[in-house]
Amino acid sequence: MKTSPFKVELNISREEVNSCFDFAQELYALKAASTKQFGRKDIIRNKNDFIADHVIGKVVEYGFQHFLEENFNISFLVDFEIWNDPHIHDNGHDMSTIIVNKEKRTFQFKTDIKGSRSSSRWLLVEKQKITDFGTQIYVIGILKGIPEGKEFEENPFKFIDHDWKVSILGYALNRDLVDPITRRGWIEYKKGERLYNPSILKHLEGKNRSNNLTNKKYSHSEFQRELLNILKNPTRETKQYIGGTLDANINYGLPIKWLRNSQEDWYKFEKILHVYSD
């Protein structure tokens, strides 16, 4: 068992970065992925915005591949297959084939590797995607040393042909977002609502998943009562909401700080890879 801290900041080579740009440009040229803005069917993203989004996602996949290689001597195939129809895709499974002891295995747990901004404070997943895809693990990573927001979205090609860095923040299981008994989100957002400031939810952290004696897991109804109580009794020192209004009909959310990222958590992830692959 590894005793030193895991390596979570990984180098992505110039060649790997460029392959992600090639992939994104081909996706756009073939119209093989939706160009609509997240949660908004009426807004079409321009080419550079589209390229930036898909490059980030694919580069973070490389980052997680290197994370597993560095820390567990396990790898997986980064998928560059392009489907000609945007309605036909990998169904949210970015790790369908893993490599253990040089042997290719089919990994049965659907895993979605998501690239996020370093300023992001929430993992958000549309309810429809959880329902349709049945994804069981969400891995979150961010780019390091690359400008965020409009500068990157307006001209991602300024940053092509260079080495990049990715930092792996952690992962969430499906049940961290959705109560397995009621099949309802622990924290749900409707269209037009704003994100809660994660700071006001600190007393709820772990109540959606822990079942040990010091941090008893809540039922869904207990969790909702505590959440409502927090919202009804705001503190003057901390603002309740952050960011603008949300576009998707229903999102399930998890604060980034609640991701599983301890050494014990990553050893559990490794065990999942072994148990659910053949």
Other CB atoms within 10 Å distance of the CB of residue 199: 15
For the chain, the maximum distance between any two Cα atoms, rounded to a whole number of angstroms, is 57
**pLDDT bracket for residue 82 (50, 70, 90):** confident
**3, pLDDT greater than 80:** no
Residues 6+ apart with CB under 8 A from 78: 58, 61, 62, 65
196 phi and psi, to 5 degrees? -70, 145
The token pair at 158 is 């300024």
Report how far residue 170's alpha carbon sits from residue 187's, in angstroms, rounded to the nearest whole number: 19
Using a cut of 0.85, tell me whether the model's pTM lies above it: yes
Query: What are 168-219's pLDDT values in tens digits?
Result: 999 999 999 999 999 999 999 999 999 999 999 999 999 998 665 566 789 9
Other CB atoms within 10 Å distance of the CB of residue 214: 6
**pLDDT bracket for residue 131 (50, 70, 90):** confident
The token pair at 204 is 């709820």
Higher per-residue pLDDT: 146 or 264: 264
